[in-house]
Structure 1
């Protein structure tokens, strides 16, 4: 399971326009484009239900308004394994991440140890591809990525299913963020 925000269709179209130029990349499909707030992992049903209840109490004064801002990569030992689009401003997302982290703690999950870095993954690379020149060329070509501001109006709890073609994501629950949001959204989960 993981907790994320979903960019609106026009932003996902911008992200699709980035998806070329790295031959060994596994580009994300529409269903996979999201901004992760917290990876949860495998949990038993009672803890998943506790998490859903705790997430139903996460509220903000307004839905986060953000922009796409540049691109980057993650990797190890000089090998790129992930290409991503950045999301800014980081402060509003860091605040939401902290609120989600508190909800996870209430559900008994261990704290996240990695530093939070807001991004939308656009590709995963095979081991052989990450050391070649294509990822660097892709990063240079899309370095100036920017978008108009857009809202992220819902907090979403996803379940991931691994398949041959990659991960498939299923929405377990969705809660509105911002003014007028209520805990009633927490009752719409299917764990």
Structure 2
């Protein structure tokens, strides 16, 4: 089985900006440079023939390259505790349109549509349940609330395979396609 997702990768200068703010929450597992991406569609575990169909469907997708900027930070809450810390991006319109196109392509392949609301973000850190870092997270969020950048283009759609291990997930780019 192949655990797949479709994402956009920020340019090196933006990844450097993100790396510069990734500290100050002791129990957080901060992402490394190779893990920084904006998920467009999580596919999940599929067998090889479906993975090949996914790649074929994505290769024929035509969409403009979204231009966005970093815009603030936030967290995902899991039962009252922070599960992830993220950097926001705006504007959302082009990203949402791309998400819909990818989702429709996956439906044509025979996969279930995405049921979660699409919130464009770049995950910076993950925290284990019971990490007990809510005060550190709140201080980090306040310290970096004004995170921003100049606009940047997300020029390639990338199909990744996620390999789960004891140290977390490792992401392997499988294929990439230029956006217009």
TM-score w.r.t. structure 2 length?
A: 0.95
Structure 2: state its 5+ residue gaps: none
Q: For this pair of structures, how many residues does the alignment match?
A: 177
Select between 3-12 and 131-140 the one with higher mean Cα deviation.
131-140
Residue 134 of structure 2 aligns to a residue whose secondary structure is coil
Between Structure 1 and Structure 2, the one with more strand by share is 2
CA distance in 1, matches of 2:10, 2:132: 27
1:16 aligns with 2:19: yes
Per-residue deviation, 1:56: 1.0
Give yes or no for contact 1:156–1:172 (8 Å, CA) kept in 2.
yes
Distance (whole Å) between structure 2 residues aligned to residue 126 and residue 134 of structure 1? 14
Confirm or deny: 8 A CA contact 1:71 1:83 kept in the other structure: yes
Matches within 5 A, 1:100-119: 100-119=102-121
Q: Give the one of 54, 59, 73 matched to 1:56.
A: 59
**Residue 115 of structure 1, CA deviation:** 0.4
Q: How large is the Cα RMSD of the aligned pairs?
A: 1.0
The CA deviation at 1:166 is 1.4
CA–CA separation in structure 1 for the residues paired with 2:78 and 2:167: 24
Q: Report the Cα offset of residue 130 of structure 1.
A: 5.0
> Is the 1:81–1:130 contact (alpha carbons within 8 Å) kept by the matching residues of 2?
no
Moved over 2 A (4+): 128-132
For residue 57 of structure 1, report the CA deviation from its aligned partner: 1.7
Structure 1 residue aligned with 2:31, among 28, 33, 43?
A: 28
Gaps of at least 5 residues in structure 1 are: 179-191
Residue aligned with 1:72, SS: strand
CA-to-aligned-CA distance 1:77-111 (integer Å, 9 cap, x gap): 22011000001110110000000001111111101
TM-score by length of 1: 0.90
Contact 1:5-1:36 at 8 Å conserved across structures: yes
Contact residue 25 and residue 133 of structure 2 kept, 8 A: no
* 2:146 is the alignment partner of 1:144: yes
Give the conservation status (yes or no) of the 8 Å contact 1:80–1:130: no
Determine helix, strand or coil for the equivalent of 1:19.
coil
User: How far did residue 59 of structure 1 move?
Assistant: 1.3
